[in-house]
Amino acid sequence: MTLLDFRAGAASAASAKSVTGPAKSLTGPARTIPDADPDRPAVRLDAVSRRFGTGPTAVLALDRVSLGIAPGEFTCIVGASGCGKSTLLNLVAGLDAPSGGTLSTYDSRVALMFQEAALMPWLTVGENVELPLLLAGTGRGARQRRAAELLGTVRLDGCADKRPHELSGGMRQRVSLARALAQDADVLLMDEPFGALDAMTRDLLHDELERVWRETGVTVLFVTHNVREAVRLGDRIVLLSSRPGRVVAGFQVPVARPRRIDSAEVAELAATVTDALREEVRRHGR
Amino acid sequence: MAADVTLRDTRIDLTKSPAFAADLAGLDALETFQDPRRPLPARIWSSAWPKLAAVGLGLLIWQIAVWSAWRPEWVLPSPLTVFESLGNMITTAEFWDALANTLRRAVLGFGFALVSGTAIGLAVARVRVLRTAVGSLITGLQTMPSVAWFPLAILFFGLNESAIFFVVVLGAAPSIANGLINGVDYVPPLLVRAGRVLGARGWSLYRHVIMPAALPSYLAGLKQGWAFAWRSLMAGELLVIIANRHALGQEMQFARDNSDAVKLISIMIVILVIGILVDVLFNAFDKRLRARRGILDSV
């Protein structure tokens, strides 16, 4: 299995979506990618490092991470604690700047989802989904139409007037997904979005996310501790080491979709990835 | 490696099946089940009877003190006498004039404190150097009894409206500013991060994330600011007496000069009732805020 090969994903991704031009529509399901060239990644990291602090107490969170992610690809990043995953997502989201190396997002719009839904508790569910549109200056009518549509996408029709606290954790996370989609992002970054959910809800949300990903053609960069989850969802899995975060291995996931998290194929590849992860973790105990 | 061929397999999509949608809908329904609310009369009664009982108990203790002849009747009149006098008092134009003057001063002073306290609070919360410079000064002002400002205010402005206004504003503004600063300090960082990811920057981050998140603490500051404004105003009206202008505090001072305990206590009851009414208003707003944000158990 080869590492850092985004072309395998790109070939099929390109065939799955229309690449007609740079224009973006707010309402239609059809999406376009900023760059029509399928060989060109949606996100590219070249030897990206991030150091916090200076002098002897400096912490190297990411060490020369190189990674290319193709448009429409679903990439899972797996690593133990301290692998710099949040740092990595912050960099790609533009909330932070690398200390070294180059990072390109090719003018993609980037959305980020957290482990917590992070909904604004003073807004209704609908207003939460509208928030990115409001911040982008979209008019009220268009905002409401788009929010209703997106709530439909995550199967929460009729919940627009509810308050976030009235929903379950899984429903809140779906609102968060709808809100991220409202940004009309080309790249969706997900930071352990299902980590705090019970197993049954998580399994259903895997199916949901996969469906939304297919329908929208969005590029997903998904960080998780859960190897099975990564195998269930990803086109490709990237294994990061801890302290500092380095890319140590990459796995293509040749399991046909739709997948089941409890299928033998998923379990088999998960075992391989887990072995590699354990070996990496063991290194720190010595 | 089979990756290139089967990445986007579209043979059967489980998520399109009715069974899947039903699973998800079922889970949603199970997880959002709520107990039905109690009917309105029951809720009103359960919140009203403890208050009524407390008032009754207070009046009873008062009456017992009168019966015990602890103080002569002209100093400590019975509740009945006082309420009779109060009933008569509220039919006089003089009383309403005094009430209007006092409330006007309260509203003007508190209103100005609201604007200036909010502006100062926002500036201090946003600008780090300003925070270092005056952050603890604001807390110091907040703890200073505003009545201590009166001698200086009277020297500055004389015995007039300006002196009262000055002290009322100084009493309320630091609490309001501090409430806002604390609120901004305690905004969950996750919400700020989410706001930034959603495209909020600078002022729009304040407008759409930080200020709404800080609202509960700001409201607590307003409530405290009102209490301080009301106290300062009463102190001011006892000290600063302006000719031909009735005011509640001034009426109290006159009642004391005339040894008219009945009138004195009547006015005190009016002052207490106004304080309670405003508090009820603040609490109603606060309760609504908490209910919307799910901080309140459904009572």
Going along chain A from its start, the domains and CATH numbers come out as 7-109+186-285 (3.40.50.300), 118-183 (no CATH)
User: In chain B, pLDDT over 70 holds for what percent of residues?
Assistant: 92
Among A1, A170, A207, the residue with its CB nearest the CB of B20 is A207
What integer is the mean pLDDT of B150-154? 92
| DSSP string over chain B | --HHHHTT--S--GGGSHHHHHHHHHHHHHHT--PPPPPHHHHHHHHHHHHHHHHHHHHHHHHHHHHTTSS-TTTS--HHHHHHHHHHHTTSHHHHHHHHHHHHHHHHHHHHHHHHHHHHHHHHHH-HHHHHHHHHHHHHHHHS-GGGGHHHHHHHH-SSHHHHHHHHHHHHHHHHHHHHHHHHHTS-HHHHHHHHHTT--HHHHIIIIIHHHHHHHHHHHHHHHHHHHHHHHHHHHHH---TT---HHHHHHHHHHTT-HHHHHHHHHHHHHHHHHHHHHHHHHHHHHHHHHT-S---
**What is the pLDDT tens value at each position of chain A, 286 positions in all?**
434 443 333 333 333 333 333 333 333 333 333 333 446 678 898 888 898 888 888 888 888 888 889 999 999 999 887 778 888 998 998 888 899 888 988 888 889 998 889 999 999 999 999 999 999 998 999 999 999 989 988 888 888 899 999 898 889 999 999 999 899 888 999 999 998 888 888 888 898 899 889 988 899 999 998 999 999 999 999 999 888 888 888 889 888 888 888 899 899 999 999 998 888 888 877 7
Q: By the CB < 8 Å criterion, does B9 face chain A?
A: yes
Subunit contact B213:A122, Cβ cutoff 8 A: yes
> Which residue does chain A place closest to B31, by CA atoms?
A168
Query: What are the chain A neighbours of B217 within 8 Å (beta carbons)?
Result: none
- Phi, psi (degrees; rounded to nearest 5) at A220: -120, 135
Please name the member of A123, A163, A256 whose beta carbon is closest to the beta carbon of B294. Answer: A163
Q: Is B19 on the interface with A (CB under 8 A)?
A: no
CA distance, residue B14 to nearest chain A CA (Å): 7
Cβ pair A210:B15 closer than 8 A: yes
Reported in sequence order, the residue ranges of A202-273 that DSSP labels E, i.e. its strands, are: 219-224, 236-240, 247-252
CA-closest candidate to residue B99, choices B224, B283, B252: B252
Residue A194 makes CB contacts below 8 A (sequence gap 6+) with A173, A201, A202, A205, A206, A224, A229
- Percentage of chain B lying above the pLDDT 90 cut: 57
- Which residue in B193, B198, B219 has the most chain A C-beta atoms within 10 A of its own C-beta, making it the best mutation to test that interface? B198
Q: Give me the residues paired with residue A77 across strands.
A: A223, A238
Chain B CB contacts of A258 under 8 Å are: 9, 11-15
Chain A residue numbers touching B24 (CB-CB < 8 A): 155, 204, 208
Q: Does B29 touch chain A (CB under 8 A)?
A: no
Q: Looking at the complex, does the CB of residue A166 fall below 8 Å from at least one CB of chain B? A: yes
For an interface test with A, which of B15, B186, B208 has the most A Cβ atoms less than 10 Å from its Cβ?
Answer: B15
The residue of chain B with its CA nearest to that of A122 is: B293
Asked if B8 lies within 8 A of A136 by C-beta distance, the reply is no
Cβ-based neighbour number of residue B283 at 10 Å? 12
- In this predicted structure, the answer to whether residue B155 has a pLDDT above a threshold of 70 is yes
Q: Assess B21–A contact: CB distance below 8 Å, yes or no.
A: yes
Which amino acid does the sequence have at A96? D
Q: Which residue of B has its CA nearest to A113?
A: B194
Tell me if chain B has a CB within 8 Å of the CB of A208: yes
Is A165 in contact with B20 (Cβ distance < 8 A)? no
Nearest CA in chain A to B15: A207
B72-128: per-residue pLDDT in tens?
888 899 999 999 999 999 999 999 999 999 999 999 999 999 999 999 999 998 888
Looking at beta carbons, which residues of chain B come within 8 Å of A131?
A: 198, 208
A138 CB neighbours in chain B (<8 A) are none
Token couple for B199: 């495209």
Q: Residue A39: what pLDDT?
A: 61
Interface A–B counts its CB contacts (< 8 A) at 128
- Of the partner residues A118, A167, A200, the one whose CB lies closest to the CB of residue B32: A167
Q: Does A253 touch chain B (CB under 8 A)?
A: yes
Which residue, B90, B64, B69, B91, is CA-closest to B79? B64
How far, in Å, CA of B149 to CA of B171, rounded?
9
Which pLDDT belongs to residue B2? 38
Chain A touched by B35 (CB under 8 Å)? no
Task: Name the CATH topology of B73-293.
Answer: MetI-like fold (1.10.3720)
Contacts of A216 in chain B (CB under 8 A): none
Backbone angles phi, psi at A249, to 5 degrees: -160, 160
B15 Cα to chain A: minimum distance (Å): 6
Contacts of B31 in chain A (CB under 8 A): 167-171
Determine contact, residues B85/B266, Cβ cutoff 8 Å.
yes
Nearest CA in chain B to A157: B25
DSSP A163-220: -GGGS-HHHHHHHHHHHHHHTT-SEEEEESTTTTS-HHHHHHHHHHHHHHHHHH--EE
- Confidence band for B241, pLDDT divided at 50, 70 and 90: confident
CB pair distance less than 8 Å for B1 and A258? no
Query: CB A183 to CB B198 under 8 A?
Result: yes
